[in-house]
Amino acid sequence: MPICIPDTLPAVDVLRNENVFVMASSRAKTQEIRPLKVLFLNLMPKKIETENQFLRLLSNSALQVDIQLLRIDQRESKNTPIEHLDSFYCDFEDIKHQNFDGLIITGAPLGKVQFDDVVYWSELAKIIDWAKEHVTSTLFVCWAVQAALNILYGLPKLTREHKLSGVYWHNITDPNAILTRGFDDTFLAPHSRYADFPSDIIRQKTDLVILAESATTGAYLMATKDKRMAFVTGHPEYDSFTLANEYFRDLNAGLNPDIPENYFPDNNPDHQARSTWRSHAYLLFSNWLNYYVYQLTPFDLNTRDLTID
């Protein structure tokens, strides 16, 4: 089944050109199916690019997914037209009385910014707290993981001295975990962050179960035992060229960035990079939608009881 998004959202044409099954909202209204309602809090500056990346992964499922885009930063965007934001995004006040099957909170380029200096920090904390009562399962990605660990567990901001950038091998820690069902024992995933997620600290300071990790990246995939929250410290949604774009952007800005590890063929930026993590990324999002959302959420969201055993 497809994802359901507004007819005029730019992602419709982009994804259809990639042979991704997308259903416009006008057609979805004619089907007698209760789609999953997924709220998408997009914290990335290039919102259209990020929409395409996440919607692509959400499309590879037998479930119909109805996407609602959410924003919390009201400042003028330098990377996304205001017309796009006004047309397709809602504010928290518009939906705070609703219930959702799933919530995805993206990363943000705030690796060196202290939490108290994030302009929408209080609003983000409010949404994360709200999700406990209004969302079946929330998926945090990259910087959103660091933010959630502070808000939910009181973990301080841990920052790496050098940026972690590249594609890294990870190990499954529990072969029977349903969020990693179908994964190979080892798999690749991209990272681009200053945030640090040491596995030992996660185990000592939280009740999260680490499902995948590596010596280089630390904890990669974590979840609460009740499946109400899942945490991905990398960027499985990245396109094959995203790390390259970041590298050349920083290079042109005179920042002397390190070449992303295990990314360019022969470690040569003149060679075109290829995605080596796509299958893992699709499977991760499909598993989350199925096992953490669809299998747990009630049919009628208005009569839900979010006390999940």
Could you tell me which of 16, 37, 57, 28 has the C-alpha nearest to residue 137? 37
Bind-site residues:
163, 192, 249
Chain mean position to CA 132: 18
Could you tell me which of 146, 148, 166 has the C-alpha nearest to residue 216? 166
Residue type, 107: G
Residue 3 structure tokens: 């994802």
Does the active-site annotation cover 237?
A: yes
User: Which one is catalytic: 4, 51, 134, 142?
Assistant: 142
Does the active-site annotation cover 142?
A: yes
User: Which one is catalytic: 134, 170, 235, 280?
Assistant: 235
d(CA 188, CA 210): 16
d(CA 217, CA 257): 18
Does the active-site annotation cover 134?
A: no
Q: Which residues contact 44 (CB under 8 A, 6 or more apart)?
A: 50, 106, 107, 108, 109
Bind-site residues for substrate:
163, 192, 249
Residues with a known catalytic role: 142, 235, 237
